[in-house]
Amino acid sequence: MRVLTGITTSGTPHLGNYAGAIRPAVAASRQPNVDAFFFLADYHALIKCDDPQRVAASRLEIAATWLAAGLDPEKVTFYRQSDVPEIPELSWILTCITPKGLMNRAHAYKASVDQNEARGDEPDDGVNMGLFSYPVLMAADILMFNANRVPVGRDQIQHLEMARDIAQRFNHQYGAGRDYFVLPDVQIDEDVATLPGLDGRKMSKSYNNTIPLFEGGAKALPNAIARIVTDSRAPGEAKDAEASHLFMIYKAFATPQETDHFRRELADGMGWGDAKKKLATHLETILAPMREQYVTLMDNPERIEDILQAGAAKARRLATPFMQEIREAVGLRNGT
Ligand code: ATP
């Protein structure tokens, strides 16, 4: 079974990226019969990030994070989206068979329109064509490698349905009896929570509300945790763990027993200051060994680059001949 997932290179990787995407993906890649494709979504980053330095730094940080988290580049196809030119080429061909009405309904686009309307602005203010048509690029990412399974957060279910829709349209229009594209299935892991950020919204690189995974060293972790918003209950007062963002983060990194213990301590009146210290110590125990690997990798960007180049070559061994077939199917020169 082929599994594919990517992370946008729009900032420093955070606890949410790790618990929600990297940790389960690396675990899945170790299972037998899983052919994993993990990529750095740097074309996607350009949709929301116009700071070249941030995109460049993020590429390196996210690559080092995947590797420090245990990704085995020998086993997994690990590549940078922009090193595979067949992906944007396929994206254009898919753009030409995608109805505009389908994109009008995409959540990411609609969310921006809703925000604009709520502010009394023009509906499309600040919306670029990248944001509008990004489900097509996402479809190209997935369909290029005929992935069967795509693990995503709930917010991405609709975009994955669009990828299936686009694949079906292509197969129907150009297939002449052949299904060029596999219809990908969404994989939602019920156990993986969406981690809240420092301000209570979803932890997200583009909201600047994150707790960085490794960047900033051991000191950054307690400093960021100290900024998590908590309610005003004083030490000694019972606290509702389930309503607390701090607890949700702890839970994503703890065993059920540890989680129960923490829940009881909060109910028994542990102060938020102590709860924050406890979360910081707990995370440090888990993250410190990986951070060491991360620092070593960040000191050696050439090694990361070599790994990514080898991954791109591996990806293109599939993408190049497949793209030739697609070109031929739509009537373009075959390119060989
Ligand atoms: P951006 O702000 O650029 O969208 P992001 O930090 O929200 O970045 P993505 O790069 O879009 O994250 O997503 C990469 C992966 O990390 C996805 O699988 C997504 O579901 C997961 N992820 C992102 N944020 C969280 C979170 N707060 N909790 C759990 N998983 C998350």
CATH label of the domain that carries residue 226:
1.10.240.10
CA of 327 to the centre of ligand 1 (A): 33
291 pLDDT tier (thresholds 50, 70, 90): very high
Beta bridge partners of 79: 39
Q: Are residues 7 and 145 in the same domain?
A: yes
**Of all protein residues, whose CA lies closest to atom 23 belonging to ligand 1?**
17
pLDDT of 336: 59
Verify whether ligand 1 is closer than 6 Å to residue 208 (CB atom): no
Of 189, 118, 181, 124, the C-alpha closest to 156 is: 189
76 pLDDT tier (thresholds 50, 70, 90): very high
Domain residues for the domain of 73 are 2-98+133-195+300-330
**Of all protein residues, whose CA lies closest to atom 17 belonging to ligand 1?**
21
Residue range 230-246, pLDDT digits in tens = 888 888 888 899 999 99
**Of all protein residues, whose CA lies closest to atom 25 belonging to ligand 1?**
16
Question: Does residue 225 contact residue 279 with C-beta atoms inside 8 Å?
Answer: yes
314 pLDDT tier (thresholds 50, 70, 90): very high
- Express the helix, strand and coil content of the chain in percent, nearest 5 each: 60, 10, 35
Residue 277 corresponds to which tokens in the numbers above?
């210290």
Give me the mean pLDDT over the 86-92 stretch: 98
Q: Are residues 43 and 154 in the same domain?
A: yes
Whether residue 124 is contained in a domain is answered as no
Return contacts of 169-172, CB within 8 angstroms, 24+ apart: 169/97, 169/98, 170/94, 170/97, 170/143
Q: Are residues 272 and 306 in the same domain?
A: no
Residue 80, H or E segment: strand 77-80
Q: Are residues 289 and 313 in the same domain?
A: no
**For residue 6, which atom of ligand 1 is closest to its CA?**
14
Number of domains the chain is built from: 2
- What proportion of the chain, given as a percentage, has pLDDT over 90? 85
**3-state DSSP assignment of residue 283:** helix
Q: Are residues 36 and 143 in the same domain?
A: yes
Q: Are residues 229 and 145 in the same domain?
A: no
**For residue 155, which atom of ligand 1 is closest to its CA?**
20
pLDDT of 189: 75
Q: Are residues 177 and 251 in the same domain?
A: no
Q: Are residues 167 and 237 in the same domain?
A: no
Whether residue 239 is contained in a domain is answered as yes
> From the centroid of its chain, how far is CA 253?
18
Whether residue 115 is contained in a domain is answered as no
- Supply the CATH number for residue 176's domain: 3.40.50.620
Cα separation, 112 vs 185, in Å, equals 27
Residue 210 corresponds to which tokens in the numbers above?
């994150």
Candidate ranges 20-34, 69-83, 143-157, 222-236; pick with highest mean pLDDT:
69-83
Cα separation, 310 vs 77, in Å, equals 9
Has residue 247 got a pLDDT over 90?
yes
pLDDT of 301: 96
Q: Are residues 151 and 56 in the same domain?
A: yes
Whether residue 43 is contained in a domain is answered as yes
With tokens 């995109």, the residue in question is: 55
Cα separation, 160 vs 151, in Å, equals 10
Has residue 170 got a pLDDT over 90?
yes
Give me the mean pLDDT over the 14-18 stretch: 94
**For residue 192, which atom of ligand 1 is closest to its CA?**
29
pTM of the predicted model as reported, rounded to 2 decimal places:
0.92
CA of 139 to the centre of ligand 1 (A): 18
212 pLDDT tier (thresholds 50, 70, 90): very high
Whether residue 36 is contained in a domain is answered as yes
Q: What is the ipTM of this complex?
A: 0.96
pLDDT of 193: 77
Question: Does residue 298 contact residue 60 with C-beta atoms inside 8 Å?
Answer: yes
Has residue 335 got a pLDDT over 70?
no
Has residue 125 got a pLDDT over 90?
yes
Whether residue 200 is contained in a domain is answered as no
256 pLDDT tier (thresholds 50, 70, 90): very high
Whether residue 157 is contained in a domain is answered as yes
Question: Does residue 205 contact residue 8 with C-beta atoms inside 8 Å?
Answer: yes
Give me the mean pLDDT over the 48-57 stretch: 94
State the virtual CA torsion across 295, 229, 20, 243 in degrees, nearest 10.
150
Q: Are residues 8 and 93 in the same domain?
A: yes
Q: Are residues 50 and 83 in the same domain?
A: yes
Which residues are known binding-site members for ATP?
8-10, 16-17, 153-155, 195, 202-206
Q: Are residues 92 and 228 in the same domain?
A: no
Whether residue 104 is contained in a domain is answered as no
Residue 265 corresponds to which tokens in the numbers above?
């301590």
Which residues are CB-contacts of 228 (< 8 A; sequence separation ≥ 6)?
Answer: 198, 211, 245, 246, 249, 276
Which residues are known binding-site members for L-tryptophan?
141
Cα separation, 60 vs 322, in Å, equals 29
Cα separation, 42 vs 92, in Å, equals 17
Give me the mean pLDDT over the 277-295 stretch: 96
